[in-house]
Structure 1
Amino acid sequence: MKKSLLALAVLGAFAGAASAQTNVTIYGVADVGIQRTDTSATSATWSLNSGIWSGSRIGFKGSEDLGGGLSAIFQLENGFAIDTGALGTANTLFNRQAFVGLKGGFGAVTLGRQYSPYHIALDTIDPFETGLAGDTTRLFASHLTTGYPIRVSNSIVYSAPAMGGLSASLIYGLGETAGSVSDNSQLGVGAGYANGPLNVQFAYHTTNVTAAGVDTDHSSLLLGGKFNFGVATLHAGFADNKNEVAGGSNKARNYLVGVSAPIGAGKLLASWVRNDLRGGNLTDADQYAVGYTHGLSKRTDLYTSFARTNVDVGADVNVFNVGMRHKF
């Protein structure tokens, strides 16, 4: 009886705290689909995959008004595999986002694990939204030693207040290396302009990688945008990447040309992505993709996509998927 009363008291305390925090939002995405993958050197594999279009997740976010136009903000976001129920990253609860900070007329300063401005810019201009089989991240810097980071742990982000369609952000990730401030640190900047049918994005990210006293730094610069003509939206992007290696460097240039067009309650997607690799024993690749998404409601979508990647030296890859996404 005493244990039951204690449990009720604890639940009551949590309920009281939750009611006081009326601005806390619980949200999430449940995304799952069937995927077929084959190469010119291997047989096809059929699988049930989570997060094909958008990573399956559950999150918590909120703010507290501190007065004088200042607010405390936080966000905690867990990624999981809906096909197995497993954590998206082993032994990491909030692998997608985890940060706290302050927001006011000056903009926002947040600390924790956060998206890089580079990924935000690429996701904005990609007709496939860096998801589905047409995902630009499959080729953008992917054949270099290390591609651009989607998220940065141990990071500090400053987001400037939006002004007339302009936006800007700066991220710094601490390397947390004994005896050095710069070793294994990351620095990124992003800027955008969105006004009416036009959206232009710029981003730059560099990582100072040091192991056994040897620098293998890598950097990526991105410029792209999209323009909505009404009947269709044109997407385009260009990236320049560099990885330092022993005795020199590897370089790659990425190109994106795509289109998205509304068709009733759905949207048709298509893109061409090229990875033009320079230096070393690197291989160029071209990806051609087409897809279709269909909204059953504001929160529920069906999707399908197909992409073929032609590799100059090596096995070509085909990916097909069909699935369902629900936001809550």
Structure 2
Amino acid sequence: MHSLNQPSTSDYHDAPPAKQHRLPTLLTAAVAMVASHGAAHAQSNVQIYGLIDSAIVLESGGPKGRITKLESGVSNGSRLGFKGEEDLGGGTSAFFLLESGMLVDTGGMDQGGLLFGRQGYVGLRQKDIGALYMGRVYVPIYQTLTTIDPMANQYAGAAGQLMSGAKAGARQNNTVMFISEEMQGWTTQLAYGAGEVAGNAAASRQLGGSLTYSRGDFTARIGYNQTNNATATDSAHNTLMIAKYNFGPVIAGLGYAINHGIGSIDSRDSIAALTIPLGKHTLMATYIDKNDRATSHKYRAHQYAGAYSYALSKRTALYASFAYLSNTNFTTTRFGSGNREYDLGMRFSF
């Protein structure tokens, strides 16, 4: 598969490590431990939850011709999670979340074989102030993207295929993050990801933040992310501004991103999104334009995508999606090669 920038570490199917046979054992032990804790301390409100997603995927337009395959996590990443919260009194509560990504089609682990690769954090929440998270979390700029993207960087038309803020990585390790409570429509989010390089605190460091204003049917948000390289001699900067409005039958949104570094990266991303909820039916559409202005490899890419979801119940849904990518240099689809993709799948949550 070709890549337009850096490979994403979101719900994309990172290759598992060579030695992963111990992971199922560790996961089983984690399930038993959390389940036991929940039974003994029900007042702590520990929950086990999950989602299973699988789809038939057809890709075409690539140099090797058409390919049909079964994929996991096409509309939503398949997962098994544990979460809990405890009231400490005085408006303060402690909480945690551990979420493991799974590949339903092979039985392996997602996110490169990490046990809790989707998320893993512990934190404190204070009423009327906000919450402090510590661990592996979604970065603010990625959450800014999913605020406007009805497909949440999933389905055939995953936004991260073109948008640099999503391709840089949905999640951040070694992070302390604060999310404020809403105050007159405003919410603030700040994140610091330690690079953990001895003698150089700036090396591999990641900083992020967002500011959101939401009133009634209108939402506007700006997100920022900075990632330093391993020697702190260069850094990538991504800024994404979005706005959306709920017109009733249609939810419409627009977004614009400015991306600089590492190296010669200099691009602008634009996204337009529509969501039409009709009871059990949901229609989604996005158009993404990427203008790569780097002198070494200028190109312009456009992605047209649509998706349809039908809720059989509160837990079960069927879906279909498609995407077409036009690129002046080369073509690529969500997980493989080609410039067209069609998905037909099912998801079940518990």
Q: TM-score, normalised by structure 1?
A: 0.89
- Between 1:257-266 and 1:185-194, the stretch displaced more is 257-266
8 Å contact from structure 1 (residues 127, 235) kept in 2: no
Distance 1:90 1:261, change over 3 A: closer
CA distance in 1, matches of 2:85, 2:269: 39
- Between 1:199-208 and 1:12-21, the stretch displaced more is 12-21
Pick the aligned partner of 2:41 from 20, 33, 42.
20
CA distance in 2, matches of 1:14, 1:256: 42
CA distance in 2, matches of 1:198, 1:39: 39
Distance 1:15 1:152, change over 3 A: closer
1:164 and 2:184 aligned:
yes
Q: Which has the higher contact order (CA 8 A, sep 6+)?
A: 2
- What are the within-5 Å matches in structure 2 for residues 144-159 of structure 1? 147-159=167-179
1:116 and 2:139 aligned:
yes
In structure 1, runs of 5+ residues without a counterpart are 1-10
1:93 and 2:109 aligned:
no
User: How many residues were matched structurally?
Assistant: 310
1:132 and 2:155 aligned:
yes
- Between 1:264-273 and 1:234-243, the stretch displaced more is 264-273
1:306 and 2:322 aligned:
yes
Pick the aligned partner of 2:201 from 162, 168, 181.
181
What is the RMSD computed on CA atoms of the aligned residues?
2.1
- What are the within-5 Å matches in structure 2 for residues 155-304 of structure 1? 155-211=175-231, 215-245=233-263, 249-279=264-294, 280-304=296-320
CA-CA distance at 1:17 after TM superposition? 5.8
* Residue identity in the other structure for 2:179: S
CA distance in 2, matches of 1:232, 1:77: 32
Distance 1:35 1:91, change over 3 A: closer
* Residue identity in the other structure for 1:181: A
Aligned-pair identity in percent equals 35
Is the strand fraction higher in 1 or 2? Answer: 1
Q: TM-score, normalised by structure 2?
A: 0.84
CA distance in 2, matches of 1:91, 1:270: 32
CA-CA distance at 1:219 after TM superposition? 1.0
CA-CA distance at 1:85 after TM superposition? 1.2
Distance 1:16 1:102, change over 3 A: closer
CA-CA distance at 1:26 after TM superposition? 1.2
8 Å contact from structure 1 (residues 73, 101) kept in 2: yes
Q: What whole-Å deviation, never above 9, does each CA across 1:73-125 have from its counterpart, x for those lacking one?
A: 11000000111111113442100111111111331111110110111110110
Distance 1:262 1:180, change over 3 A: same
Distance 1:14 1:50, change over 3 A: closer
Distance 1:48 1:273, change over 3 A: same
In structure 2, runs of 5+ residues without a counterpart are 1-31, 332-337
**Higher Cα Rg: structure 1 or 2?**
1
Distance 1:129 1:91, change over 3 A: closer
